[in-house]
Amino acid sequence: MVTTLSQVAEKAGVSVSVASRSLNGHAKAYRISDATASRVKEAADQLGFRPSQTARSLRLKKTGLVGVVVPDLSNPFFASISQSIALSAEAEGYSVIVADSREQTEHEIRLLHQLEDRQVEALVVCPVGTESKHLQEINKRGTPVVLADRTFPNCNLAQVTSEHRVGAAKATRLLTAQGHRVIGVLQGLPGTLPNEQRLSGHAEALEEIGVAFDPSLTMGNNFTEASGFDSAKKLLVDRPDITAFFAFSTPNAMGALRAAMESSRLVPDDLSIVAFDDCPYADLMSVPLTTVRQDVDRIGQLAAELALRAAVGSTSRKRKRRHDVKTRVIVRNSISSVRHS
Amino acid sequence: MVTTLSQVAEKAGVSVSVASRSLNGHAKAYRISDATASRVKEAADQLGFRPSQTARSLRLKKTGLVGVVVPDLSNPFFASISQSIALSAEAEGYSVIVADSREQTEHEIRLLHQLEDRQVEALVVCPVGTESKHLQEINKRGTPVVLADRTFPNCNLAQVTSEHRVGAAKATRLLTAQGHRVIGVLQGLPGTLPNEQRLSGHAEALEEIGVAFDPSLTMGNNFTEASGFDSAKKLLVDRPDITAFFAFSTPNAMGALRAAMESSRLVPDDLSIVAFDDCPYADLMSVPLTTVRQDVDRIGQLAAELALRAAVGSTSRKRKRRHDVKTRVIVRNSISSVRHS
DNA sequence: TCCTCGTGCACAAACGATTGTGCTAGACTA
DNA sequence: TAGTCTAGCACAATCGTTTGTGCACGAGGA
């Protein structure tokens, strides 16, 4: 069914070594006559020869594979990152294996090992949880690991993420500029760098106007809609003086929206909302969300670049191993100024 | 760095064949003493031995890879399909390589060949365009191809798609039940089976109430937002008597929504909309869309199942090679009854 | 005529696994 | 004691490439 190099060689009346070199353009270097080389090529064409990537991988110790592990592929954010990684990788002749860790460290570890066994040349991981030990080990064992989006403090792995601190400060300033002083924060997963940096950016922006950061205004344990909903509900009763929410993810914001509806608080009249993370059709939402958009494509592209660079073993360690990509504020209609009562 | 079987064998003081058989549980069958077998296992553990999948693939002619080609991974619909394929495949010990054809046949073909060269054991394709020749050829060459979502009429490839005709009829009936008689259809890519079957389902539902299908009410050339927007705009001026739109995709519907806003037609008061395809947060949209939801997870799961079954070469041709998964109507708030003027 | 040299290839060893078969030494039988 | 059997392993081929090296043959110079 599939034709092998030796069949090509036989048909051309040469040895496999000559066939291989002819087809790989090494003819000159190995003193193979033009006549022979073209005879081989013709034979290859006629037989529809396609070299086995598996065999080459084994021989060359190069699989041309990149592994991508995300927590939830159905989440547009991760889907977009995967897409842009896939496109970048493909441009360099690589293919990507994507794996979905279902937000569980346990799965993440299993999948990572599976990919390691498949000898992917690099891994791009949007990690789950707050542990990076397993990732460091893999990196140490020889498969370069690049962290995307969810990175860790004090972690020497290559990483690319958004300018969370700056972005969060921008978001907060949108609120404070409208007079908001009591701002509820619907946070994501505590302990992750994005979350911590956003908190710190938020506090920073508050400080600028002389407001102290109040930890009791922060709630949430995940980037999910459920966490956003629960936290918002709780905060709305605990702190009735809250005039605005800063949600750390789109799902968090959606949860907040639902909570506001259930509590019959009108957005943006009774309650302003700003969210980190944009989402498709955010402008067509019942309340068009003002958001801090991350440049997903750029994140994916940079991650792919770092990964591939590491894969080919560019020893130039001078290369930046850490990238923070800029965010952009998208002003829509979920913020109003506080009413003076 | 990475340890090979022969290193394990050496450490255990046995030959590679014994080492291989011990680790693969073939000890008994090949009369290897328990003592030796456990000695090998211990050595493997100590060295952290992980067999090279590349080598096994070559020897066993089984890569454990499934290829998935979608037109646009950032589209939640395809992202979800990919996810559910990935999960199903993973459960069977397979990994999936995803490739994004950017809605272009040219890319699709290139990617498919790349995957073929990598010797994926099966392909799941959401094809672009209306040509299936290249897919049939691949299938004939030995890599089983399963079509998902976008299938073709008169195509003997395995395929899984939604019950487009039934779903479209349901959607149309939602409108006719409210008295709508002049319904604009924002179609997707003409010539694809989903599109044609939806059209036919639509016509069928009209016929039930004695309304003739009017082709001039149908516009559009793609499943994109742009197509939806342009078609809606045009139809709104060409046919001011239109009281409702049936959009063949979520992006189509979003385009219609925007067109309605620009033409200052209120939805649902002045204009009803129903869409095929659900999307996350559809209920939180400015007008909560009534939709015919496809069971994306089931589609992906079935596709993966067909693909893997074909991969292991189950010769039982009795198996259904074609699946139509049911759709479900999600009633929200984008439809109102026609006003009697 | 003999030696040298370059051209044009073929041979064979990898890569790291799996697997059919062959070999040896001890136990057992007669 | 000689012959048979079997447990317990090692050898070697194989999957399809790539690549270092060796060999033969003809041309050219002295």
Measure Cα distances from B107 to A91, B50, B127, B145, B175 in Å: 11, 35, 11, 17, 39
Question: What pLDDT score does B232 carry?
Answer: 97
CA atoms of A97 and B196, how far apart (whole Å) = 34
Mean pLDDT, all residues of chain A: 93
In single-letter form, the type of residue at position A177 comes to: A
pLDDT at residue A340 tops 70: no
CA of B35 to C1' of C30 (A): 34
Residues of A in Cβ contact (< 8 Å) with B56: none
Q: Who contacts B67 (Cβ-Cβ below 8 Å, separation ≥6)?
A: B96, B97, B99, B112, B115, B118, B120, B122, B123, B124
Query: For the segment B169-211, what is each residue's pLDDT rounded down to a tens digit?
Result: 999 999 999 999 999 999 998 988 899 999 999 999 999 999 9
Point out the residue among B52, B82, B113 whose CB comes nearest to the CB of A119.
B52
Looking across all nucleic acid strands, the nucleotide with the smallest C1' to CA distance from residue B53 is C17
Question: What pLDDT score does A209 carry?
Answer: 95
Residues of B in Cβ contact (< 8 Å) with A87: 100, 102
- Tokens for B189, please give them: 């890519």
pLDDT at residue B225 tops 60: yes
CA atoms of B118 and B138, how far apart (whole Å) = 13
Strand locations in chain A (E): 65-70, 95-100, 122-125, 145-148, 158-162, 183-186, 218-219, 244-247, 272-276, 290-294, 322-325, 327-330
pLDDT at residue B314 tops 70: no
List the nucleotides on chain D closer than 7 A to a protein CB: 7-12, 14-21
CA of B16 to C1' of D22 (A): 31
Q: What is the mean pLDDT of residues A103-107?
A: 94
- Tokens for B166, please give them: 């039934």
Question: 3-state SS of chain B: helix, strand, coil percent to 5?
Answer: 45, 15, 40
Q: Does B57 touch chain A (CB under 8 A)?
A: yes
Compute the nearest-CA separation of B52 from chain A (Å). 6
pLDDT at residue A316 tops 60: no
Q: What is the mean pLDDT of residues B320-325?
A: 88
CB contact under 8 A, A63 and B82: no
Query: For the segment A318-331, what is each residue's pLDDT rounded down to a tens digit?
Result: 567 889 999 999 99
Looking across all nucleic acid strands, the nucleotide with the smallest C1' to CA distance from residue B30 is D8
Residues of B in Cβ contact (< 8 Å) with A111: 90
In single-letter form, the type of residue at position B111 comes to: L
Mean pLDDT, all residues of chain B: 93
- Per-residue pLDDT band for A317 (boundaries 50, 70, 90) equals low
Q: Domains plus CATH for chain B?
A: 5-51 (1.10.260), 63-161+296-325 (3.40.50.2300), 164-294 (3.40.50.2300)
- Per-residue pLDDT band for B318 (boundaries 50, 70, 90) equals low
CA atoms of B337 and B333, how far apart (whole Å) = 11
pLDDT at residue B340 tops 70: no
Q: Does A55 touch chain B (CB under 8 A)?
A: yes
- Per-residue pLDDT band for B341 (boundaries 50, 70, 90) equals very low
CA atoms of A96 and B68, how far apart (whole Å) = 11
Question: What pLDDT score does B320 carry?
Answer: 76
CA of A37 to C1' of D23 (A): 21
Q: Who contacts A142 (Cβ-Cβ below 8 Å, separation ≥6)?
A: B1, B2
pLDDT at residue A46 tops 70: yes
In single-letter form, the type of residue at position A143 comes to: T
Q: Does A141 touch chain B (CB under 8 A)?
A: yes
Compute the nearest-CA separation of B198 from chain A (Å). 25
CB contact under 8 A, A111 and B97: no
Yes or no: say if A135 and A125 are a contact pair by the CB < 8 Å rule.
yes
Handedness of CA B83, B85, B86, B90 (dihedral sign): positive
Query: For the segment B102-140, what is each residue's pLDDT rounded down to a tens digit?
Result: 999 999 999 999 999 999 999 999 998 888 999 999 999
